[in-house]
Amino acid sequence: MNRTFGLAEFLLILAAVRWTILLSLVAFVGGGVLGFAVAIMRTSRSRILRLLTAAYIQAFQGTPVLMQLFLFYYGFAVLFDVQIDAWPAVALAFTLYSGAFLGEIWRGSIEAIPRTQWEASACLSLSYLQQLRFVILPQAMRISIPPTVGFLVQLVKGTSIAAIVGFVELEGNFDRCHCRICRVDPCWPTDGQRDVPANDHLPAGRGNLLRNVLAAFTAESLTRETDRCRSWH
């Protein structure tokens, strides 16, 4: 007889929400620090720095994040005989992935500032760093808010693939609850093993639905707070 959804399953999902939020937060904050450095180097006068950061962006934007997860989790064990746990592997992969996208978003925001702003700040005898700090970055920050919030939503939803390398998060725990309640094999069945009921696909759907609601709520909250801060100025 199948079990019903109880307190144990609820606590399992609640723990998964915690890890999903934590992974998204670590990836966004770490990627933000890295992306800011990338954006500054991409707009610098040094051709070498521009080429290096462009290569980094092409490498992480041009490859699927799933392949990056496999590289950090399985690749280090094969190439360097170093086994990395699931948590640091997915955190590092999503941080580097976020850094590439945020760096390019913020680079575009900096370059969207009219050239006259640079020239006017140069007339005030400001150094390059002072021009960025006092004139360019405050204006670029307002331009970058919508695409940054949009990327954060995609990042929260994209953490679902971390379950592939064994990281316990929302979608993986929904599948575990489904296996507990319906007493089914957690592995995907092959032909001849058993018939797949129509509701076997519902746990992943519920996990993605809850993740999307969480991402939408985060984006709406950030946008509302940002608009309030902008209205004060």
Q: Give residue-wise pLDDT tens across range 61-113.
A: 999 999 999 999 998 888 888 888 889 999 999 999 999 999 999 999 999 99
Number of domains in the chain: 1
Tens-of-pLDDT digits for all 233 residues of the chain?
455 655 666 666 677 778 888 999 999 999 999 999 999 999 998 999 999 999 999 999 999 999 999 999 998 888 888 888 889 999 999 999 999 999 999 999 999 999 999 999 999 989 988 999 999 999 999 899 889 988 998 898 888 888 888 776 655 555 555 555 555 444 444 344 344 444 444 444 555 566 566 666 666 676 666 666 555 55
Classify residue 191 by its DSSP letter.
T
Q: Which amino acid, one-letter code, is at 116?
A: T
Angle between helices 86-111 and 137-158 (to 10 degrees): 150
- The owner of tokens 């994209």 is 158
Residue 160 lies in a domain: yes
What does the block give as tokens for 92? 């590092």
Residue 192 lies in a domain: no
Domain with 107 in it: 7-186+198-232
Residue 105 lies in a domain: yes
In this structure, the number of other CB atoms found within 10 A of the CB of residue 45 comes to 7
Selection from 27, 22, 63 nearest residue 154 by Cα: 27
Residue 2 lies in a domain: no
What does the block give as tokens for 120? 């006017």
Residue 175 lies in a domain: yes
Residue 1 lies in a domain: no
pTM above 0.85, yes or no: no
Task: Round to whole Å and give the CA distance between 230 and 233.
Answer: 5
What does the block give as tokens for 21? 């939020």
Residue 141 lies in a domain: yes
- The owner of tokens 């094999």 is 185
Residue 191 lies in a domain: no
CATH number at residue 166: 1.10.3720.10
Q: How far is CA 12 from CA 8, 169, 172, 182, 225, in A?
A: 6, 10, 10, 16, 31
